[in-house]
């Protein structure tokens, strides 16, 4: 039997040494959770340090990401490519040990955590993906999808409201292979949490449909081991609920003067206290000195290699029995799109082009989704209680339902691929991130654009993690009408465009919407936000479709409206305002003013194009006017001399009345262009 005290103290020593050397960090949680980590990582977790991304590994999420040294210590000790020097470089520039764990940077880190509660929601998404993939691909005697999702979390994660959204869904979805360990130490940065955190957490989770174990002593490795074993056993015995293990711990365990204090939470122990802690733990080794027997006790390379080899043998048998399914599973897990995907995109856009439909872009989105969900079985959609408004459902995506045994119900002989998230925008966004991180599905979900504020931090996290997630945001402007300013998006398009690595599309018709979807699904390293209208939009005639994917293109030249000369001005428009630009172009032609109309459905995509292409679309020296139902600030960077926008909140009235009231008319666009031209005369 391994020396559990030695294993736990190895974590404590590395945590306090790294934080002390960096003079920054959170030593308390790693020191307090060390025994819990010994129980899970030493006795239960299925993983392979030699191949951190092999498919059927258990997923481990450190939701309380400030405790990052716990995870870094575990990865180093168990044999991942995280040498001791990286722990010495904790929180330093370009190290693999940043202040909070970052996926794709540190081998073995499954998700980027730090904003509390989101890691827990990510874990729910991972567990859902595992369950759905098992239902879709496993066959009798061939269980190729069979792993658990474990998450460590603290009081802060449970205080964040997203924990309610995500955990309620985990219970509703009967994710019985999700096991959460709650580090109940009762301390946050501000001190003892009892004055402001009085929840009966076990009762809360039982109400969600979770199994609850504990409270147990989080420093008793055997007790934690038994709790995890019970959770795994209950799932195997037909229990349908996820499991919460409540583990009572002492933050800063081992530190004589900092244990159970807020000071242990978020600052170094100090040189004197580190020395006292070493003495209290009986740890006689120098800073960052790790004894051979500690490495030997933790080393998971041999067992991990054996676990992966066993799965590879099972998968080989599966491939022989079900070659088609095996090929599809392999493609899906690589994140590759079918070879015919590009043609599907073109055909969809061409069909929309040919129909020249006058529909709301939210409906155009649904038309595109009909083609894409039929071609891509990995598309997993949903909506935060607004399915009938967002139109994220299609004939190919039956609603996701679970029977009393926790199995996925077949609806019309289809596995459910449309999720009713309920009124949980933030939870939906973070769960989608977890689905994308797990692999096997391309998640998308819808709500009103104004509610993107609720889910914004999870959108930011998707962009930071470079994950392919699609947000369908409808009711994108004052065109929403009578619901008024609480629901009318004014600043949202501009604010989303400010998020690095997020693509934002605001298409004007069926063709642009189809292309936007195609580009979003091919964006393997960035999320996408589609901003779609409630009101119907006419089809904008165009010479071709090839330049739409570049984010902006010349939609109409002056020659197309009877004036055959170099444009005197350029009107840039997005979404529903493209029709205003085209009508203004016609009226200006009657005044002998030649205008080019540029449709710019995606500023973020256009910004990545070559300088040559940008100049071809927006020639220098020609004055520009932008037209968009949103704040004006973002348009000045394109050299616009005038902007027809809205820098105030909206009003409650029919859309047609609002358009006139706020100046979104062809006549106002004409006047703005003429004013700009006259100022340059």
List the structure tokens of 463.
Answer: 């962009």
Domain pair 4-305 / 549-680, same fold: yes
Give residue limits of the domains in the chain.
4-305, 341-537, 549-680
Which CATH superfamily is 4-305 part of?
Thiamin diphosphate (ThDP)-binding fold, Pyr/PP domains (3.40.50.970)
List the structure tokens of 212.
Answer: 């609850």
Cβ neighbours for 384, distance < 8 A, ≥ 6 positions apart = 421, 422, 423, 424, 425, 428, 445, 446, 447, 451
Question: Between β-strands 410-411 and 414-415, what pairing exists: parallel, antiparallel or unpaired?
Answer: antiparallel
Q: Element (H or E) spanning 425, and its range?
A: helix 425-438
Distance CA 652, CA 407 (A): 46
pLDDT for residue 109? 98
Mark 515-524 as b/e (b = at least 16 C-beta within 10 Å): bbbbbbbebe
List the structure tokens of 481.
Answer: 């009408």
Distance CA 525, CA 464 (A): 10
Residue 639, classified by CB atoms within 10 Å of its CB into exposed (0-12), middle (13-18) or buried (19+), is middle
Does 425 qualify as catalytic in the annotation? yes
Catalytic residue among 425, 512, 560, 577: 425
pLDDT for residue 352? 75
Mark 188-206 as b/e (b = at least 16 C-beta within 10 Å): beeeebeeeeeeebbebbe
0.95 surpassed by pTM: yes
DSSP-based three-state secondary structure for 654:
coil
List the structure tokens of 376.
Answer: 């891509």
593, β-bridge pairs: none
Write the CA distances from 546 to 7, 13, 381, 582, integer angstroms. Answer: 59, 59, 27, 20
Cβ neighbours for 19, distance < 8 A, ≥ 6 positions apart = 25, 26, 27, 69, 90, 268, 269
Overall CATH class of domain 549-680 = alpha beta
pLDDT for residue 559? 87
Distance CA 557, CA 560 (A): 6
Q: Name the CATH code of domain 341-537 (choices 3.40.50.970, 3.40.1640.10, 3.40.640.10, 3.60.110.10).
A: 3.40.50.970
Residue found under tokens 């019309």: 412
Mark 359-370 as b/e (b = at least 16 C-beta within 10 Å): bbbbbbbbbbbe
pLDDT for residue 563? 78
Distance CA 617, CA 603 (A): 13
pLDDT for residue 409? 84
Write the CA distances from 4 to 176, 283, 639, integer angstroms. Answer: 28, 14, 65
Q: Measured at the alpha carbon of residue 197, what is the angle toward residues 249 and 266, in degrees to the nearest 5?
A: 55
Backbone angles phi, psi at 528, to 5 degrees: -135, 140
pLDDT for residue 195? 94
Instruction: Give residue-wise pLDDT tens across range 378-390.
Output: 999 999 999 999 9
Residues of the chain with pLDDT under 70: 1
657 touches 487 (CB < 8 A): no
Backbone angles phi, psi at 248, to 5 degrees: -80, 125
List the structure tokens of 59.
Answer: 């997923």
pLDDT for residue 354? 77
């Amino acid at each position: 039997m391994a020396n559990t005290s030695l294993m736990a103290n190895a974590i404590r020593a590395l945590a306090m040494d790294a934080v002390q050397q960096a003079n920054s960090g959170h030593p308390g949680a790693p020191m307090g959770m060390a025994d819990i980590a010994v129980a899970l990582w030493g006795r239960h977790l299925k993983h392979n340090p030699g191949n951190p991304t092999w498919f059927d590994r258990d997923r481990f999420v450190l939701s309380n990401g400030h405790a990052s040294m716990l995870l870094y210590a575990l990865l180093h000790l168990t044999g991942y490519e995280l040498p001791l020097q990286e722990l010495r470089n904790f929180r330093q520039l370009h190290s693999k040990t940043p202040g909070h764990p970052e996926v794709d940077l540190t081998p073995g880190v499954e998700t980027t955590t730090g904003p509390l509660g989101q890691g827990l929601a990510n874990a729910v998404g991972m567990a859902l993906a595992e369950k759905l993939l098992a239902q879709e691909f496993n066959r009798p005697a061939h269980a190729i999808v069979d792993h658990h999702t474990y998450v460590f979390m603290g009081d802060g994660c449970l205080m964040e409201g997203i924990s309610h959204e995500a955990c309620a869904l985990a219970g509703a979805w009967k994710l019985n292979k999700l096991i959460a360990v709650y580090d109940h130490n009762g301390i946050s940065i501000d001190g003892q949490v009892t004055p402001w955190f009085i929840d009966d957490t076990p009762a809360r989770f039982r109400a969600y449909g979770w199994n609850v174990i504990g409270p147990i002593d989080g420093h008793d490795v055997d007790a934690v081991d038994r709790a995890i074993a019970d959770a795994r056993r209950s799932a195997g015995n037909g229990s349908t609920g996820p499991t919460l293990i409540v583990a009572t711990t002492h933050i800063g365990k081992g530190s004589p003067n900092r244990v159970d204090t807020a000071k242990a939470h978020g600052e170094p122990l100090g040189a004197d206290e580190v020395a006292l802690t070493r003495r209290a733990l009986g740890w006689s080794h120098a800073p960052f000195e790790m004894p051979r027997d500690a490495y030997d006790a933790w080393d998971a390379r041999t067992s991990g290699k054996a676990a992966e080899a066993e799965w590879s043998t099972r998968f080989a048998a599966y491939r022989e029995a079900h070659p088609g399914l095996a090929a599809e599973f392999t493609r899906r897990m690589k994140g590759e799109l079918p070879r015919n995907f590009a043609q599907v995109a073109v055909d969809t856009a061409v069909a929309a082009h040919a129909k020249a439909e006058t529909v709301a872009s939210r409906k155009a989105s649904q038309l595109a989704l009909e083609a894409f969900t039929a071609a891509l079985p990995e598309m997993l959609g949903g909506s935060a209680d607004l399915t009938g408004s967002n139109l994220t459902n299609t004939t190919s995506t039956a609603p996701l339902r679970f029977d009393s045994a926790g199995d996925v119900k077949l609806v019309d002989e289809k596995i459910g691929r449309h999720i009713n998230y309920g009124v949980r925008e933030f939870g939906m966004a973070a769960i989608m991130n977890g689905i994308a991180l797990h692999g096997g599905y391309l998640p998308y979900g819808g709500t009103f654009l104004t509610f993107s504020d609720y889910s914004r931090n999870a959108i930011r996290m998707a962009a930071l993690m470079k994950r392919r997630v699609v947000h369908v945001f409808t009711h994108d402007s004052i065109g929403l009408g009578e619901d008024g300013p609480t629901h009318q998006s004014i600043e949202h398009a501009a604010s989303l465009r400010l998020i690095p690595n997020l693509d934002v599309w605001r298409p004007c018709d069926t063709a642009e919407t189809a292309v936007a979807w195609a580009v979003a699904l091919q964006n393997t390293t960035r999320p996408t936000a589609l901003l779609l209208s409630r009101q119907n939009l006419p089809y904008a005639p165009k010479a071709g479709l090839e330049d739409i994917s570049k984010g902006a293109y010349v939609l109409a030249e002056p020659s197309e409206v009877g004036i055959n000369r170099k444009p005197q001005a350029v009107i840039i428009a997005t979404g529903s305002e493209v029709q205003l630009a085209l009508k203004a172009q016609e009226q200006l032609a009657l005044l002998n003013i030649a205008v080019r109309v540029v449709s710019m459905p995606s500023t973020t995509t256009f910004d990545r194009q070559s300088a040559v292409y940008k100049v071809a679309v927006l020639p220098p020296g020609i004055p520009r006017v932008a037209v968009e139902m949103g704040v004006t600030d973002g348009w000045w960077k394109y050299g616009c001399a005038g902007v027809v926008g809205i820098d105030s909140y909206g009003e409650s009235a029919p859309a047609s009345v609002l358009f006139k009231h706020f100046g979104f008319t062809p006549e106002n666009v004409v006047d703005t262009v003429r004013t700009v031209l006259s100022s340059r005369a």
